[in-house]
Amino acid sequence: MPDKTVTILAVGDNLLVMKNPDEQFALAAPVLKAADIVVGQLETPCTMRSAVTGAWSGFGPQPGNPRGADPKKLKSLRTAGFNVIHLAGNKIWDAGAPGIEDTVNGLRSLGIAPVGAGMNMDEARTPAVIERKGTKVGFLSYNCVGPKETWANPLKPGCAWLRIVTAYELDHPTPGGNPSVYTFAEPQSLKMMIEDIEKLRVFCDVLVVHFHKGIGMTPALLAMYEQSVSYAAVDAGADLIISEHAHMLRGVELYKGKNIYHGLGHFVPYDPDAKAEERPEWLVKQQQRIFNADFGGNLTGTQLWPKDPLSNLTIIAKVTIANKKITRAGFLPCLINNRAQPEVLKHDERGQNVVDHMISITAVEGLNAKYEWDADEIIITA
């Protein structure tokens, strides 16, 4: 009898801005290509057409030089084994409508299913459905972090979105003191997401919802809305929640038996050791401004991001489907080296360091997942 087990691997943010993204994926590609479905998030729109957007995410091409990455670099995703790419994120509008159109079309031309962005709201909310070995897996993708200029509407290209409202309350009589922060999804946008999930539920066996969410570059911190929107998705019919955006790992929890990966971290970031001439001009200027550093020569360590070695830790989520249901979930620990290459680790000291970090942040975040080694991968239990 043929094996009908389906394996999904999922990774976090991918930024295709360096000279040779094939090289950045090289260490992980053999592992990724062994899966039935490989899913990732693409941070950078890919177009060579200019468009002044009037909005800027902080890291993408800035107004006045708003081109995205070279669309030819999308081939690196196919070479690495990706089948589905999530586009609902805070950088998708950095190159305006041309960036969205060329990215979506470029992915489709390579046989990769885009999800979460399109030339209007209906396209952005359209799911991707991938069939493997008789099992249909559906994907939806939502941007929870803005800016609102990235959002699609009935007449404007953009991404699918959840509007997150932030409220500040001073709990003590100290004007100017630190407030309590409350975040939650605006009801109408949450209703749209729930409707999308309910519609997709009848067309697939396993339903995956992907969120671009979280507070960037902060370890072990979940905003209030992150759990509530994840729970709402599960209640509506999702079988699996996968998230990224913070560029650092977050913990995992199980809710009603469903796995919620609150943050996979980035997978292929900017190369922290590349020379200036290997980087797009707009990237060099932004790094100089944001980090007040001189990037004229070689960099060392983790200077790309604020100097925190935890940003070099990442994981590949691994999910097994049997009899059209998720029967096992876990992850592969990874370390991003100084050439911005994610390396899949084994059950050794380096792999254990990643697992120890996951154990630590899961406890700090008050989540319920437990992690156990099985050969060279981690199994998640409650």
pLDDT at 269 over 90: no
> Is position 160 within any domain?
no
What backbone phi and psi angles, to 5 degrees, belong to 121? -65, -40
Q: Of how many residues is the chain composed?
A: 382
What backbone phi and psi angles, to 5 degrees, belong to 341? -110, 115
In angstroms, the CA 78 to CA 38 distance is 10
How large is the average pLDDT for residues 244-254? 96
Per-residue confidence at 278, pLDDT binned at 50, 70, 90? low
Q: Which residue has the tokens 């007040």?
A: 292
pLDDT of 128 reads 98
Would you call 320 exposed, middle or buried from its count of C-beta atoms within 10 A (0-12, 13-18, 19+)?
middle
Cβ–Cβ under 8 Å, residues 40 and 86: yes
pLDDT of 63 reads 43
How large is the average pLDDT for residues 250-271? 94
Average pLDDT, the chain: 88
Which residues make Cβ contacts (< 8 Å) with residue 251, sequence separation at least 6? 220, 222, 262, 358, 361, 362, 363, 364, 365, 367, 369
Higher pLDDT, 53 or 269: 269
What letter does residue 214 receive in the DSSP assignment?
S
Higher pLDDT, 249 or 56: 249
Return the ∠ at Cα 121 (arms to 115 and 127), rounded to 5°: 30
What letter does residue 104 receive in the DSSP assignment?
H
pLDDT tens readout for residues 200-226:
999 999 999 999 999 988 889 999 999
> Is position 161 within any domain?
no
pLDDT at 298 over 70: no
pLDDT of 59 reads 43
Q: Provide the edge-to-edge strand list for the sheet that holds 206-213.
A: 128-132, 135-143, 206-213, 240-245, 258-261, 252-255
CA-based nearest residue to 234, from 195, 260, 213, 203:
260
> Is position 259 within any domain?
yes
How large is the average pLDDT for residues 142-157? 96
pLDDT tens readout for residues 111-120:
999 999 999 9
Per-residue confidence at 283, pLDDT binned at 50, 70, 90? low
In angstroms, the CA 245 to CA 91 distance is 11
> Is position 262 within any domain?
yes
The strand ranges marked E within 170-264 are: 180-185, 206-213, 240-245, 252-255, 258-261
pLDDT tens readout for residues 92-106:
998 889 999 999 999
pLDDT tens readout for residues 20-39:
899 999 999 999 999 999 99
Cβ–Cβ under 8 Å, residues 282 and 65: yes
> Is position 145 within any domain?
no
In angstroms, the CA 126 to CA 117 distance is 8
Q: Which of 74-78, 159-163, 283-287 has the lowest mean pLDDT?
A: 283-287
> Is position 220 within any domain?
yes
Give the tokens for residue 380: 């998640």
Which residues make Cβ contacts (< 8 Å) with residue 51, sequence separation at least 6? 66, 95, 96, 97, 98, 99
What letter does residue 73 receive in the DSSP assignment?
G
CA-based nearest residue to 362, from 215, 218, 209, 219:
219
| Beta partners for residue 41, in sequence order | 13, 86
Q: Which helix (H) or strand (E) holds 378?
A: strand 377-381
pLDDT of 156 reads 96
Would you call 224 exposed, middle or buried from its count of C-beta atoms within 10 A (0-12, 13-18, 19+)?
middle
> Is position 291 within any domain?
yes
Q: Which of 153-157, 161-165, 257-261, 308-312 has the lowest mean pLDDT?
A: 308-312
Q: Residue 275 belongs to what domain range?
A: 6-115+209-228+238-381
Number of domains in the chain: 1
Per-residue confidence at 281, pLDDT binned at 50, 70, 90? low
> Is position 35 within any domain?
yes
Q: Which of 29-43, 218-232, 264-278 has the lowest mean pLDDT?
A: 264-278
Q: DSSP letter string over 288-342?
A: HHHH----SS---TTTTSSS-GGGGEEEEEEEEEETTEEEEEEEEEEEE-TTS-E
pLDDT of 280 reads 53
